């Protein structure tokens, strides 16, 4: 950054405008990144919920199979 005290008013304004433009570009980049990360977080949350539902389904079907095997062994007197 140049020493603003040694510059003319026109040069100071030019330097400040350049710095504001650079900051605006950085803010736009940060905004895009935050938006992309928000979408990624929403997608991750959706996938986690699907995984939790799958685990519940596996537990339910496993319980049904175990109950069927237990009834089958009890009905036929197997040990």
Q: CA angle, corner 65, sides to 62 and 49, nearest 5?
A: 25
- Report yes or no on 19 lying in a domain: yes
Q: Which domain holds residue 56?
A: 8-76
Does 2 map to a domain? no
**pLDDT tops 80 at residue 2:** no
pLDDT grade, residue 3 (50/70/90)? Answer: confident
Number of domains, the chain:
1
Predicted confidence (pLDDT) at residue 45 exceeds the cutoff of 80: yes
Identify whether 1 is part of a domain: no
* pTM of the predicted structure, to 2 decimals: 0.60
What pLDDT is attached to residue 1?
A: 64
């Amino acid at each position: 950054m140049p020493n603003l005290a040694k510059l003319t008013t026109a040069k100071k304004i030019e330097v400040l405008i350049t710095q504001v433009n650079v900051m605006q570009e950085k803010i736009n980049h940060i905004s895009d990144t935050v938006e992309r990360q928000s979408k990624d977080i929403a997608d991750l949350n959706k996938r986690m919920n699907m995984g939790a539902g799958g685990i519940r389904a596996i537990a339910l079907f496993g319980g049904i199979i175990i109950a069927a095997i237990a009834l089958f062994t009890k009905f036929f007197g197997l040990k």
